[in-house]
Amino acid sequence: MADRPYVIERMISAKSIAARIEDLSRDIAMAYAGTDKLVVVGLLRGSFIFIADLVRELDMPVEVDFIETSSYGNATESSREVRILKDLRGDIEGRDVLVVEDIVDTGHTLAHVLNLLQSRRPRRLRTIALLDKPSRREADVTADWIGFEVPDAFVVGYGIDYAQQGRNLPYIGQVRFDTA
């Protein structure tokens, strides 16, 4: 558990997340109509619940792979130094690829991953993010599909953590630190 006392206030309910994923999956299926198999790449660890729910809603052939990155550690601010901790197992050259991100904050992680994957020559490379914080953007990157826009607040739940806690929450909540 993190050293600083905090509470979590609900921002986005599990029901709202599920409904939005249904809408996004329809949009994605239309965008990839005719694709023989979509490669869905989740950015670990924060996207693991989102990617699981998303691919179950996609009525098309999909292959799932993962990249694990690190830029936060146990902090609430990005270090802006993106490290690849786990790379893809499969080849994406000439394939349609959808990168699944939990949250686009400064944009450094997503920009780094997109540059890496683009160098592997996919046929088409697109992105989806459950959450977007455009007010914090430092890198010139925007997801093709966005679940929810959130304010400049530290959030947890639905796979997203604070110091490895809160990932299991079925909703998105804002972390509020005790100032006392």
Active site residues: 105
Q: List residues bridging with 172 in a β-sheet.
A: 12
